[in-house]
Amino acid sequence: MTGKIVLITGATSGYGLATAKLFKEKGDTVIIASRNAEKVQKTVAENGFADGLTLDVTNFAAWVECKRHVLEKYGRIDVLVNNAGGGLSIRETAEQTREDIDAIIALNLNSVIYGSGIFAEVMKQQKSGIIINISSVCAKHAWGGWSVYAAAKAGVLAFTKGLYVELQKYGVRATCLIPASASTGFQSAAHLAETNDSLSVDDIASAVYYAAALPERAVVEEMTVWGTSQVVEPL
């Protein structure tokens, strides 16, 4: 076991996988988590990660079991990256069903609160650690059809700010990373046309790693990452 103990959700593709690869490259012990057991096993085998967990991030009890496994096997947690999320249903609010809305909030906000709360208790006892929550520029900018998703991601930003205030006195840090769109397959999963984005998943991974690698005396409260060719809209 070497370096930091790092747990990354949604790590079989996109930002999560790129971030897991970077932490491993830097010599850390990387645990990936995702809800698809077959993909988890395949990703661990292909990349040589230390461990892979099947985790439904919307299930509180699953997070409790995840914590038990991590502590029994590794004894601590140094970095938690709450990356799992998705658009699920991107369309105007009036066209969303109750089930659509509940699913978007559960995956993109509740999951972050569950995981952060469960592992914050561990980090408080350690008096060290960092929680990095992945939001979206939708938290700060308005696009039609994205309102429910944006509400969840804005919640992640506000939650992370409050979380850091709660944890600061224990020597624990919390950062909210706010990425613009990058080519992750998100669009197709949300039934949208793919875009040719200037950001890559490796750019986002580098930002996550930067926040985690800062000395413990320093913290990035929030970090917005745009591609230089992307238009920053004012709303």
- The full DSSP string for 116-167 is HHHHHHHHHHHT--EEEEE--GGGTS--TT-HHHHHHHHHHHHHHHHHHHHH
Residue 144 in contact with residue 100, Cβ under 8 Å?
no
**112 CB-side CA count, 13 A:** 31
CATH 3.40.50.720 fits 5-225, yes or no: yes
Which residues is 223 bridged to in the sheet? 177
d(CA 166, CA 84) in angstroms, rounded, equals 23
pLDDT digits (tens, 9 = 90+) for 141-198: 878 888 999 999 999 999 999 999 999 999 999 999 999 876 544 444 444 444 555 7
Q: How many helices (H) and strands (E) does the chain have?
A: 8, 7
pLDDT digits (tens, 9 = 90+) for 25-53: 999 999 999 999 999 999 999 999 999 99
Tell me which residues are annotated as active site.
149
